[in-house]
């Protein structure tokens, strides 16, 4: 399904988007990748959604990516005798490991690892930062705190600890079970929550065993400090602004978002900007002007994908939310300023033959009358490098590996086409010409650029480029000529 935009749209599925008709409508409206949130729904529900996506993919003959988002360790307070209490600024409040329901003076925090890591002066943020506590004294099973920002605290509210590195595994026991389940199911991407260090990514990769690509969610300040190493260990990144905005001053999030997007692009790894992009559309058919500007900013920054969460999973207007993103993307990408920004932010440093090939492909396409760049990529590496160039002409990513086509649905500008296996460059050129015409991107009077790696079926061998005319003799040539 040819999109008239380059940035990709990720839509989360949930109660509002649970059946075949809705999921198909969301894909037709613009969703390129569907997110399965493992925090909600049991395995049976997740399997039903997965199977529906694959049926839509088959019916529309259009590769669709599936991203399973693992819950990660959830830190929560216990319960209160009255259900909730009002904490007043300046008051004392204790968190401890003792059983018994909480009151205005204390509550259980059933996470010993937090107490092991806490130090006096550290902050604890409760309920998405609406309540802030500062540790005055602490031990192996308690933390005596001063209320810095007061408010209503209630049962099982989440806790963030921004000032210390918690000795927590990124994968809980639930995550391990979920990871194995979704990998066996056949998802394309695994989103890893609350990554703090590259070792967290390595653990998930070892468990995935190549069955899914690993996408690190950047939600913690410690992940920012270790970002270069985390990026190197990951296949992609999600800038999860919700928790970042809780654990960091909110004014820090926009520049961090911009920096992370640029680093991901330089590394040729897809990056998603997520959280509260069109939040008002949970209840309204129209977004706010500020939300539209937020979506546009992420696109201008060069993000590979933008994501809807509750807007498509639980909102009243999921199709309208996807359509809004699609329309904003189309408008931004038609702005000459966008093209200028993409060119100005291009990383000009070529380090390998592959870098030089894709850079040349982009320059040839932009300075002559070339209609598309066609890249053959079994592993996806060539397509990712071409995508990093942000060319002004369409990218046709061709592969005989269905999983590669699905994973590339997350990458900027890639129109994924599943082809038969190719063993000769001549066959690649013929297949590229046919695909360009079939996708409506060229006619038999046009030309395309074809890139590939020879020998074929070997990852990381991008080493050949050809400008190919879309002539009838190529369109109708026998694969055995």
Q: Tell me the C-alpha distance between 114 and 112, whole Å.
A: 5
Residues forming beta bridges with residue 67, ordered by sequence position: 35, 189
Query: Quick check: 168 and 193 in contact, CB under 8 A?
Result: no
Question: Interhelix angle for 318-333 vs 20-29, to 10°?
Answer: 10
Which of 169, 74, 76, 166 lies closest to 118, judged by CA? 166
Residue 263: count of CB within 10 angstroms of its CB: 16
Residues in the chain: 481
Neighbour tally for 86: CB within 10 Å: 10
Question: Which tokens belong to 148?
Answer: 């810095």
Are the C-beta atoms of residues 77 and 159 closer than 8 Å to each other? yes
CA-based nearest residue to 215, from 197, 200, 235: 235
Phi, psi of 62 (to 5 degrees): -140, 115
Catalytic positions, written as ranges: 35, 76, 217, 275
Are 220 and 238 spatial neighbours (Cβ–Cβ below 8 Å)? Answer: no
How far apart are alpha carbons 132 and 469 in whole angstroms? 65
In three-state secondary structure terms, 213 is: strand
Give yes or no for a contact between 315 and 283, defined as CB atoms under 8 angstroms apart: yes
Q: Report the C-alpha gap between 23 and 410 in whole angstroms.
A: 17
Whole-number Å distance between alpha carbons of 413 and 391: 8
Q: Of 71, 73, 1, nearest to 35 (Cα)?
A: 71
Nearest-CA neighbor of 9 among 273, 220, 259?
Answer: 273
Peptide bond into 455 cis (omega under 30): yes
CA atoms within 13 A on the CB side of 176: 9
Q: What is the phi/psi pair of residue 51, to 5°?
A: -65, -35
């Amino acid at each position: 399904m040819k999109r008239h935009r380059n940035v990709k749209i990720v839509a989360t599925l949930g109660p509002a988007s649970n059946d075949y008709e809705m999921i198909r409508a969301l894909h037709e409206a613009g969703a390129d990748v569907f997110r399965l949130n493992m925090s909600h729904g049991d395995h049976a529900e997740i399997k039903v959604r997965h199977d529906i996506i694959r049926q839509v993919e088959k019916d529309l003959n259009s590769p669709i990516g599936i991203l399973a988002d693992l819950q990660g360790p959830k830190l929560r307070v216990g319960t209160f005798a009255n259900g909730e209490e009002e904490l007043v600024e300046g008051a004392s409040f204790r968190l401890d490991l003792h059983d018994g329901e909480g009151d205005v003076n204390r509550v259980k925090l059933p996470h010993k690892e937090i107490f092991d890591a806490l130090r006096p002066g550290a902050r604890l943020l409760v309920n998405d930062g609406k309540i802030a506590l500062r540790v005055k004294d602490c031990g192996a099973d308690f933390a005596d705190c001063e209320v810095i920002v007061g408010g209503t605290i209630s049962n099982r509210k989440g806790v963030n600890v921004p000032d210390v590195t918690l000795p927590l595994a990124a994968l809980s026991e639930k995550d391990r079970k979920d990871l194995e389940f979704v990998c066996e199911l056949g998802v394309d991407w695994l989103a890893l929550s609350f990554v703090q260090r590259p070792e967290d990514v390595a653990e998930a990769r070892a468990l995935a065993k190549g069955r899914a690509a690993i996408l690190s969610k950047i939600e913690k300040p410690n992940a920012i400090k270790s970002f270069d190493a985390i990026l190197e260990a990951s296949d992609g990144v999600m800038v999860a602004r919700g928790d970042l905005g809780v654990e960091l001053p909110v004014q820090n999030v926009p520049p961090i978002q911009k920096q992370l997007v640029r680093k991901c692009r330089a590394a040729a790894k897809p990056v998603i900007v997520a959280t509260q992009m069109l939040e008002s559309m949970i209840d309204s058919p129209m977004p706010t002007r500020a939300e539209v500007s937020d979506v546009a900013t992420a696109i201008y920054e060069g993000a590979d994908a933008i994501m809807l969460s509750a807007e498509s999973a639980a909102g009243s207007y999921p199709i309208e939310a996807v359509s809004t993103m699609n329309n904003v993307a189309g408008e931004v990408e038609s702005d000459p300023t966008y093209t200028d920004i993409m060119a100005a932010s291009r990383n000009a440093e070529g380090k390998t033959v592959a870098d030089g090939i894709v850079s040349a492909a982009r320059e040839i396409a932009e300075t002559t009358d070339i209609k598309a760049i066609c890249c053959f990529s079994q592993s996806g590496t060539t397509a990712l490098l071409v995508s990093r160039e942000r060319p002004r002409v369409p990218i046709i990513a061709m592969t005989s590996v269905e999983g590669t086509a699905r994973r590339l649905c997350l990458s900027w500008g890639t129109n994924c086409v599943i082809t038969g296996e190719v063993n000769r460059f001549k066959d690649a050129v013929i297949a590229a010409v046919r695909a360009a015409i079939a996708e409506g991107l060229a006619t038999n009077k046009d030309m395309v650029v074809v890139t590939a790696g020879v020998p074929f079926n070997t990852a990381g061998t991008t080493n050949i480029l050809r400008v190919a005319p879309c002539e009838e003799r190529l369109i109708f040539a026998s694969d055995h000529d």
